[in-house]
């Protein structure tokens, strides 16, 4: 979603802002802009398209100053156009704002302000914030109070940076439902929508919570609630470095992050396996040990890729821990009336920890007194802070819009959680040790899959001509089919359908012909023979089949047209291996269609608004 960067200090702001915006490109955007406060007031530059276009435009202007804000916009209210690009200002050009989120009562506020002779220049809901601050400043004659009073009138979500022309050298940041981080440096401070653009400058970060407002200057910062209560919460250290957010010699972040899979598994497991006892040591669960022991039902919520991970977790936990599990789309969870009680555990999975629907699902569960557990990759994120306990992925920053290594780490975390819950219940010592041993072998097995990269590239060239693909999976790889299809849809814009193999004859089989190939996830598991039957049915109707099969499987090539292979592992771990060739296949399909896999159209990395 939209990105924000702000700087105030002793250096020229523009290079820092442009670099920050480039580092925010992974979030998805259609336009970008900056506002820089100099000796002659605030000057702006805005452009449709890439940050490179904005940078070129800045070269033709004089934007010199030691404070500024920048923004990458993903259109919600108003089409991509220069007039709708942030930063926005008020009638007097006294206040410049960069806003992430949606203001739900913008129409009534716009009507009110128009009656007071405010003139709006954009179609956005965001612009009303600048005019509202202008209006409040007339009465208050105090910047902080004007912003505070304006924010109290807003209904909706915002991550906000406000830079005044009237008091240069100061930025006010605020949060309600959309993340804002304050980066703390020496003689300089920063505001950003996430930590990534801050990493070249500082790893000391203070995350604002909902209803908080920070006044940031070169010399320091002060945080208060919108009710004017002083906040004294300390900052956090980010474990990533700026190098983690660079391509490292790879042509795209997508490929880099797929290839980081083995290291991600190692990092997710590090210090968490007790091999001799077949146990998982999850320190983040220490505070809820008794509640976990008493849990009689689990609901896992997530969106997109996280939802697919949840579906794999459902099979794991039910089979090995014997606890009933339901998987819910977080975007629907709070719109029905979920039956929750104190013996239910709600697990929220989100790479960013800021997914709006997943966060609201957590809040709905907490309102009903239900224990919550977060699985997230972002220390200090909203879900990490608001859940009762948490497990971090330790996957490192994921820059590509396509979630690849985060998905693998989510699956590994769910295996560890299954071991933790299972060993307290029905899982035997031998089963625990067997799972732990196989987990340790996963990095080497993923590396073996990379040896097929040239073959995957050839197959991508072969299948790139098709406009429709069917992904077929069953049991543990039911979700793998949906995840494989999602990656293709996201990056290559090929219409891809995920299908549970048992559902194929309930409609999907009508689509099968020579122009609608099937990717069948067919490792040698308990449902192997049933998957072979599905393939036979597809072949009988003239369909082409690309199988993802277990190494050494000779039967599969008597049926399938093409095959990719994964090493043999436990059935519960097979989705971790099976998704890797599908990620590479989606990547190379995208390149064959001459598209950018890192930045698919219309998509954002973190969906922080509904």
Among all residues, which ones are annotated catalytic? 2, 605
Distance CA 130, CA 111 (A): 15
Q: Which two tokens stand for residue 413?
A: 């975390």
Q: Whole-angstrom Cα distance, residue 108 to residue 300? A: 38
Distance between CA atoms of 358 and 592, rounded to whole angstroms? 34
From the list 150, 130, 19, 33, the residue with the least C-alpha distance to 87 is: 33
- DSSP letter for 170, please: -
Say if strands 297-302 and 344-350 run parallel, antiparallel, or are unpaired. Answer: parallel
Sequence-ordered list of residues with C-beta below 8 angstroms from that of 445, at least 6 positions apart, any chain: 566, 567, 569, 577
Residue 41 pairs in a beta bridge with 38
Residues forming a β-bridge with 328: 301
The burial of 451, by beta-carbon neighbours within 10 Å (0-12 exposed, 13-18 middle, 19 or more buried), is given as exposed
Q: Is the peptide bond before 598 cis (omega within 30 degrees of 0)?
A: no
Is-contact 381 179, C-beta < 8 A? yes
Q: Return the closest-CA partner of residue 126 out of 191, 78, 177, 195.
A: 78
The tokens for 141 are 């004659």
Selection from 431, 429, 424 nearest residue 291 by Cα: 424
* CA distance linking residue 471 with residue 494, whole number of Å: 12
Residue 468's φ and ψ, nearest 5 degrees, are -140, 140
Instruction: Decide: 346 and 365 in contact? Cβ < 8 Å.
Output: yes
The Cα-based distances of 96 to 42, 126, 144 in angstroms read 8, 11, 14
Distance, in Å, from the CA atom of 330 to the CA atom of 313, rounded to the nearest integer, reads 15
DSSP letters along 229-261, please? Answer: -EE-PPPEE-S--GGGGS-TT-S-HHHHHHHTH
Which two tokens mark 405? Answer: 């290594």
Rg (CA), the chain: 25
Spell out where 158-242 has E strands: 158-164, 171-176, 181-184, 189-192, 204-207, 212-216, 221-225, 230-231, 236-237
Bond before 87 cis per omega within 30 degrees = yes
Whether residue 174 contacts residue 183, with contact meaning beta carbons closer than 8 Å, is answered with no
- Determine the Cα–Cα distance for residues 194 and 309; give it in Å rounded to an integer: 24
Answer for the pair 88, 127: CB distance below 8 angstroms, yes or no. yes
Query: Which residues make Cβ contacts (< 8 Å) with residue 466, sequence separation at least 6?
Result: 494, 515, 516, 517
Interatomic CA distance for residues 21 and 550, integer angstroms: 44
Strands 279-280 and 273-274: antiparallel
Q: Are strands 88-89 and 273-274 parallel, antiparallel or unpaired?
A: unpaired
């Amino acid at each position: 979603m939209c990105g924000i960067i702000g700087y105030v200090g002793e250096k020229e702001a523009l290079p820092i802002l442009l670099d920050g915006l480039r580092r925010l490109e992974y979030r998805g955007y259609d336009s970008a802009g900056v506002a820089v406060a100099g000796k002659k007031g605030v000057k702006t530059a805005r452009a449709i398209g890439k940050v490179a276009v904005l940078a070129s435009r800045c070269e033709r202007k004089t934007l010199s100053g030691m404070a500024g804000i920048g923004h990458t916009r993903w259109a919600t209210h108003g089409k991509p156009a220069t007039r709708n690009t942030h930063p926005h200002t008020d009638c007097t050009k006294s206040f410049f704002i960069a806003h992430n989120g949606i203001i739900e009562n913008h129409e009534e506020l716009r009507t009110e302000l128009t009656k007071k002779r405010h003139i709006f220049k954009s179609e956005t809901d965001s612009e009303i914030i600048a005019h509202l601050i202008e209006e409040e400043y007339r009465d208050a004659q105090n910047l902080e109070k004007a912003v505070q009073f304006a924010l109290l009138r807003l209904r909706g979500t915002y991550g906000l940076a406000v830079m005044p022309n009237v008091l240069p050298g100061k930025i006010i940041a605020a949060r309600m439902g959309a993340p804002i981080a304050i980066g703390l440096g020496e003689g300089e401070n920063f505001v950003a929508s996430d930590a990534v653009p801050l990493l070249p400058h500082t790893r000391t970060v203070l995350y604002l919570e909902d209803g908080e407002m920070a006044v940031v200057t070169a010399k320091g910062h002060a945080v208060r609630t919108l009710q004017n209560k002083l906040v004294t919460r300390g900052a956090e250290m980010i474990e990533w470095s700026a190098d983690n957010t660079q391509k490292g010699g790879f042509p795209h972040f997508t490929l880099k992050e797929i290839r980081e899979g083995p290291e991600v598994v190692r990092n997710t497991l590090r210090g968490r396996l007790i091999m001799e006892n077949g146990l998982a040591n999850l320190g983040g669960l220490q505070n809820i040990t008794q509640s976990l022991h008493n849990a009689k039902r689990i609901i896992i919520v997530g969106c997109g890729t996280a939802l697919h991970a949840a579906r794999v977790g459902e099979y794991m936990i039910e089979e090995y821990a014997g606890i009933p599990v339901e998987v819910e789309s977080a975007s629907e969870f709070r719109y029905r009336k979920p039956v929750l009680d104190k013996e239910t555990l709600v697990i929220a999975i989100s790479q960013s920890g800021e997914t709006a629907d997943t966060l609201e699902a957590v809040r709905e569960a907490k309102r009903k007194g239900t224990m919550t557990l977060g699985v997230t990759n972002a220390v200090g994120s909203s879900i990490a802070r608001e859940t009762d306990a948490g497990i971090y992925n330790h996957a490192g920053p994921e820059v590509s819009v396509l979630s690849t290594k985060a998905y693998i780490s989510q699956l590994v975390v769910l295996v560890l959680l299954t071991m933790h819950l299972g060993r307290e219940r029905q899982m035997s010592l031998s089963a625990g040790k067997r799972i732990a041993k196989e987990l340790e072998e996963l990095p080497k097995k993923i590396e073996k899959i990379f040896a097929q990269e040239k073959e995957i590239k050839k197959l991508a060239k072969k299948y790139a001509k098709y406009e429709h693909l069917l992904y077929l999976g069953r049991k543990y790889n039911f979700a793998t089919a949906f995840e494989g299809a999602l990656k293709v849809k996201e990056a290559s814009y090929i219409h891809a359908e995920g299908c549970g193999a048992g559902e194929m004859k309930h409609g999907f089989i009508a689509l099968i012909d020579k122009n609608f190939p099937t990717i069948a996830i067919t490792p040698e598991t308990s449902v192997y023979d049933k998957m072979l039957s599905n393939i036979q049915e597809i072949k009988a109707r003239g369909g082409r089949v690309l199988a993802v099969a277990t190494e050494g499987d000779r039967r599969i090539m008597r049926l399938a047209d093409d095959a990719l292979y994964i090493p043999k592992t436990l059935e519960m771990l097979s989705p971790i291996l099976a998704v890797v060739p599908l990620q590479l296949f989606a990547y190379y399909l995208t390149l064959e269609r001459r598209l950018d896999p890192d930045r698919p159209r219309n998509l954002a990395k973190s969906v922080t608004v509904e």
